[in-house]
């Protein structure tokens, strides 16, 4: 098993997407990149800790390669190989002009990852009926199911 850590805005959305992917063993919502130990959600939302909301993914690279997991605004690499692969993917996507603007995803060495409070874990799976989940997370999950069908876990 290997670890990958990504910051992509709201960790509820990110967690819901990665949890569906074949080869992903677990997805933990949490905080990374700041200067406060064991921050709370409230502290991170204040903007004063320097942390980003992120997900830490445990995955089987034999089932889903690291490259297939790369699609976030911040990539926290765990080794030089992950950094190299991420750089290559960004270069390739920019050269192909896949997006109208240059990719601005940051590559940063992974530091201490602090799991978020329990009520943030498996948020969409447990709260899919909530208006925020229906309006924001559900459309993203639907898009992933449509566009990345070959990567999804068997239901």
Q: List active site positions.
A: 10
| Residues 56, 6: Cα–Cα separation, whole Å | 7
Tokens coding 18: 């990665």
| Maximum separation of any 2 CA atoms in the chain, in Å | 41
| Residues 66, 18: Cα–Cα separation, whole Å | 12
Reduce the DSSP state of residue 131 to 3 states and report it.
helix
- Number of Cβ within a 10 Å radius of residue 105: 17
């Amino acid at each position: 098993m290997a670890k990958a850590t990504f910051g992509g805005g709201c960790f509820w959305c990110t967690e819901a997407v990665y949890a569906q992917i074949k080869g992903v063993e677990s997805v933990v919502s949490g905080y990374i990149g700041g200067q406060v130990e064991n921050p709370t959600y409230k502290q991170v939302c204040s903007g004063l800790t320097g942390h980003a909301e992120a997900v830490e993914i445990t995955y089987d690279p034999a089932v889903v390669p690291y490259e297939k997991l790369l699609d976030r605004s911040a990539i926290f690499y765990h080794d030089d190989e992950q950094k190299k692969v991420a750089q290559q993917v960004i270069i390739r996507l920019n050269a192909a002009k896949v997006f109208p603007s240059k990719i601005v995803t940051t590559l940063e060495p992974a530091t201490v990852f602090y799991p978020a409070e329990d009520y943030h874990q498996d948020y969409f799976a447990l709260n899919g009926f909530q208006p925020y989940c229906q309006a924001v997370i559900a459309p993203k999950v639907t898009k992933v199911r449509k566009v990345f069908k070959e990567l999804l876990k068997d239901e």
